[in-house]
């Protein structure tokens, strides 16, 4: 999931929901120009990652590095398209939706086997979905619309919903709904997730916790000719310099998240390729509306106008991002580029503050998780930009976990948050960010605009794309005018690859498909 309040750990993708069943681009298909040429079989690829996986229990894990590994082992019925805006069948081949929108009949792909050699059937799908639905402390809520799952024959699954639910197929494309063997193949839940089994391109080898996790080629994989690699290993290397040196020296092939300060140098470094993949990661500044004077829309608007987003992108991302202008990032379906998210305008900022309850300024605090250099940089810039308005910002450096707790308890004045998506539908982001009654109290700001809340929920109940667009346009423009958050910037995912890596692509949701990746000899 996606909200990472006051903490640079991006993690968690959000869950969207939504969408219609339209297929978008071709999921998992490489569009990397470096992938030109005939794929070569063989080779072992090593990732150098700044974070270790936490757990492979797909229904209960929330951190991205675990999720992206799980996705190489288990596969859902539907998959996010390469552009991140739609879904297409993966272990399913086709589906029909009843007129009332409450019954989904899904046909399964023939010839799909688990890495144990056992065929995948509807009993496995039923078991999987029921496990995820029951994960009340995990991703159970994503399947909350499902009443029951039937398996009338081995190749057919029927989902009976409690209500028509537009985001259903997008929800099914979540990794937490990746198909596992019925009854965990006879193992206990805990034993199964020590070495999970799925239908994906790679299968379990080992996990030396805190250092490396290795998967090897699944020779029973259903896509002809894939995967190309013999193995993929994710190593945990917290030090930025060390990861970079590993790729340069050939010990690793992919460095996840090189430091932004090194990105421009890496663009011209021989032997490596720097890739910036469009993402759904958005950074916001939140205002706690339980605290004076942030109930005042003019105060929020004044601050939002006073922030030079281009300067932030330059300072934090070294120019590799773009100013945000909506609660939604551009890679999310129904994003509206003309929703009017406030941008830098010092004159307007003064005018708004003059109209507010504190025309001559005030003193407030900005909570920053300590040890996070990006947030420190942003807070210094914001502090200096608000000073001319008479707004005296005191930056409070707080331990990351404490900062998180403070935000959840709404004990702060201003704080940062980050969101990324997991599912190609804006529903979850919209619900968590805009509905104060949903789990996270409008990103813990207590922002409440009934017209926005209504638009968000209307969009869940219709599958008519144009109607949803209208609802989401309303939600985006009203929330932008209310300036309940200052939308700061959109940042891409940065990866460094050795130049012999081909076909590595990251979707805007952060997922990648290792079955498409191959290594050339040079």
Partner 1 sequence: MGRMSFVFQRLALLVPTAIGVTIITFFMVHLIPGDPAVTVLGQHANPSTVALLHHQWGLDKPLAEQYWLFIDRLVHGDLGQSLYYTVPVWGLITGRLPATLWLLCYAAVIAIVISVPLAVLAASRKDAVRDHVVRVVPLLGLGLPAFWFGLILQTWLGTKLRLFPVTGYGQGFIGHVHTMFLPSLTVAIALCPVLIRSLRASMLNVLGADFITTARAKGVPAPRLLVRHVLRNAVIPAVTVLGINIGYLIGGTLIVEQVFAVPGIGSLMISGILQRDFSVVQGVALVFGVLVVLVNLLTDVAYAALDPRVRFGR
Burial 240-275 (b: 16+ CB within 10 A, else e): beebbebbbeeebbbbbbbbbebbeebeeeeebbbb
Cβ proximity to partner 1, 140 vs 359, nearer residue: 140
208 binds partner 1 (CB under 8 A): yes
Task: Rule CB under 8 A: choose which of 23, 291, 402, 467 binds partner 1.
Answer: 402
We find the least distance from the C-beta atom of residue 136 to partner 1, in angstroms, to be 9
187 binds partner 1 (CB under 8 A): no
Cβ proximity to partner 1, 53 vs 87, nearer residue: 53
Task: Rule CB under 8 A: choose which of 94, 239, 264, 384 binds partner 1.
Answer: 239
Please tell me the count of residues contacting partner 1 according to CB under 8 A.
Answer: 43
Region from 152-160, 163-171, 206-214, 342-350 binding partner 1, contact rule CB under 8 A: 206-214
Q: How many CB atoms lie within 10 A of CB 101?
A: 16
261 binds partner 1 (CB under 8 A): no
- Contact in structure between 376 and 347 (CB atoms under 8 Å): no
Cβ proximity to partner 1, 140 vs 361, nearer residue: 140
Cβ proximity to partner 1, 153 vs 399, nearer residue: 399
We find the least distance from the C-beta atom of residue 371 to partner 1, in angstroms, to be 10
Task: Rule CB under 8 A: choose which of 158, 195, 245, 315 binds partner 1.
Answer: 245
CB-based contacts of 112: which residues, under 8 Å, 6+ apart?
91, 119, 120, 199, 222
Cβ proximity to partner 1, 182 vs 246, nearer residue: 246
- Say how far apart CA 485 and CA 443 lie, in whole Å: 9
- Say how far apart CA 43 and CA 522 lie, in whole Å: 12
We find the least distance from the C-beta atom of residue 445 to partner 1, in angstroms, to be 15
**Angle CA(496)–CA(500)–CA(505) in degrees, nearest 5?**
55
Helix (H, G, I), strand (E, B) or coil at 182: helix
401 binds partner 1 (CB under 8 A): yes
Task: Rule CB under 8 A: choose which of 92, 133, 313, 400 binds partner 1.
Answer: 400
The pair phi, psi for residue 208, each rounded to 5°, is -90, 100
12 binds partner 1 (CB under 8 A): yes
User: Containing H/E element for 490?
Assistant: strand 485-498
Cβ proximity to partner 1, 7 vs 170, nearer residue: 7
Region from 26-34, 96-104, 240-248, 300-308 binding partner 1, contact rule CB under 8 A: 240-248
Site for partner 1 in 55-74 (CB under 8 A): 55, 62-63
Cβ proximity to partner 1, 402 vs 467, nearer residue: 402
Task: Rule CB under 8 A: choose which of 96, 110, 148, 211 binds partner 1.
Answer: 211
We find the least distance from the C-beta atom of residue 237 to partner 1, in angstroms, to be 5
Site for partner 1 in 35-54 (CB under 8 A): 48, 52, 54
Cβ proximity to partner 1, 245 vs 351, nearer residue: 245
238 binds partner 1 (CB under 8 A): yes
**Angle CA(230)–CA(234)–CA(236) in degrees, nearest 5?**
155
Task: Rule CB under 8 A: choose which of 111, 186, 210, 270 binds partner 1.
Answer: 210
* E strands in 162-222: 202-208, 212-217
441 binds partner 1 (CB under 8 A): no
Q: Mask of contacts with partner 1, 477-506, x by CB under 8 A? A: ------------------------------
Cβ proximity to partner 1, 369 vs 503, nearer residue: 369
- Contact in structure between 472 and 34 (CB atoms under 8 Å): no
Helices (DSSP H) in 16-86: which residue ranges?
64-73
User: Containing H/E element for 262?
Assistant: helix 260-267
137 binds partner 1 (CB under 8 A): yes
Which whole-number Å values give the CA distances from 191 to 52, 115, 127, in the listed order? Answer: 20, 17, 17
User: Containing H/E element for 416?
Assistant: strand 414-421
Cβ proximity to partner 1, 2 vs 393, nearer residue: 2
Q: Mask of contacts with partner 1, 139-168, x by CB under 8 A? A: ------------------------------
357 binds partner 1 (CB under 8 A): no
CB-based contacts of 282: which residues, under 8 Å, 6+ apart?
324, 327, 329, 418, 419, 420, 487, 488, 489, 490
Beta-bridge mates of residue 284? 417, 487
Which whole-number Å values give the CA distances from 456 to 164, 280, 289, 423, in the listed order? Answer: 15, 19, 20, 16
- Say how far apart CA 297 and CA 305 lie, in whole Å: 12
Is 8 buried (19+), middle (13-18) or exposed (0-12) by CB count in 10 A?
middle
Task: Rule CB under 8 A: choose which of 133, 212, 455, 485 binds partner 1.
Answer: 212
Query: Which residues form the interface with partner 1 (CB under 8 A)?
Result: 1-5, 7, 9, 11-12, 48, 52, 54-55, 62-63, 137, 208-212, 235-239, 241-242, 245-246, 248-249, 251, 398-402, 404-405, 408, 439-440
């Amino acid at each position: 999931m996606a909200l990472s309040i006051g903490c640079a750990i991006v993690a968690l993708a959000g869950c969207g929901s939504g969408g219609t069943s339209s297929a978008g681009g071709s999921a998992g298909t490489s569009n990397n120009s470096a992938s030109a040429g005939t794929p070569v079989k063989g080779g072992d690829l090593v990732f150098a990652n700044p974070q270790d996986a936490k757990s492979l229990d797909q229904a209960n894990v929330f951190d991205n590095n675990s999720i992206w590994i799980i996705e190489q082992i288990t596969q859902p019925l539907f998959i996010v398209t390469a552009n991140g805006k739609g879904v297409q069948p993966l272990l399913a081949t086709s589906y029909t939706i009843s007129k009332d929108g409450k019954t989904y009949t899904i046909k399964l792909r023939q010839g799909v086997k688990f890495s144990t050699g056992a065929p995948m059937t509807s009993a496995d799908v039923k078991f999987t979905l029921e496990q995820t639905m029951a994960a009340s402390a995990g991703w159970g809520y994503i399947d909350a619309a499902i009443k029951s799952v039937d398996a009338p024959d081995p190749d057919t699954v029927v989902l009976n919903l409690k209500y028509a639910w537009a985001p259903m197929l997008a929800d099914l494309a979540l990794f937490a709904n990746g198909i596992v063997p019925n009854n965990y193949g006879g193992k206990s839940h805990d034993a199964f997730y020590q070495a999970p089994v799925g239908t994906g391109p790679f299968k379990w080898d080992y996990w030396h916790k805190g250092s490396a996790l290795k998967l090897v080629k699944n020779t029973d994989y259903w896509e002809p000719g894939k995967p190309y690699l013999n193995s993929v290993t994710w190593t945990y290397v917290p030090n930025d310099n060390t990861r970079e040196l590993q790729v340069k020296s050939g010990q690793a092939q992919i460095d996840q998240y090189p430091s932004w300060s090194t990105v421009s140098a890496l663009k011209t470094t021989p032997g490596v390729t720097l890739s910036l993949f469009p993402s759904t990661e958005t950074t916001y500044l939140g205002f706690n509306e339980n605290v004076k004077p942030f109930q005042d829309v003019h105060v929020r608007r004044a601050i939002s106008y006073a922030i030079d987003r281009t300067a932030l992108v330059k300072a934090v991302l070294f120019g590799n991002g773009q100013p945000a202008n909506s609660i939604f990032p551009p890679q999310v379906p129904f994003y509206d580029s003309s929703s009017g998210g406030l941008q830098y305008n010092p004159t307007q900022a003064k005018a708004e503050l003059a109209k507010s309850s504190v025309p001559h300024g005030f003193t407030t605090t900005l909570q920053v998780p300590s040890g996070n250099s990006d947030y420190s940089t942003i807070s210094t810039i914001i502090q200096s930009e608000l000073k001319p308005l008479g707004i005296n910002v005191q930056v409070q450096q707080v331990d990351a976990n404490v900062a998180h707790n403070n935000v959840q308890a709404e004990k702060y004045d201003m704080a940062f948050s980050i969101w990324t998506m997991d599912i190609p539908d804006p529903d979850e982001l919209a619900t968590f960010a805009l509905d104060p009654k949903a789990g996270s109290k409008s990103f813990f700001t207590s922002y409440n605009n009934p017209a926005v809340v209504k638009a968000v929920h209307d969009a869940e109940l219709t599958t008519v794309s144009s109607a949803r667009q209208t609802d989401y346009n309303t939600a985006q423009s009203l929330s932008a005018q209310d300036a309940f958050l200052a939308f700061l910037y959109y940042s891409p995912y940065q990866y460094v690859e050795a130049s012999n890596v081909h076909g590595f692509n990251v979707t805007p949701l952060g997922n990648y498909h290792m079955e498409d990746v191959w290594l050339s000899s040079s």
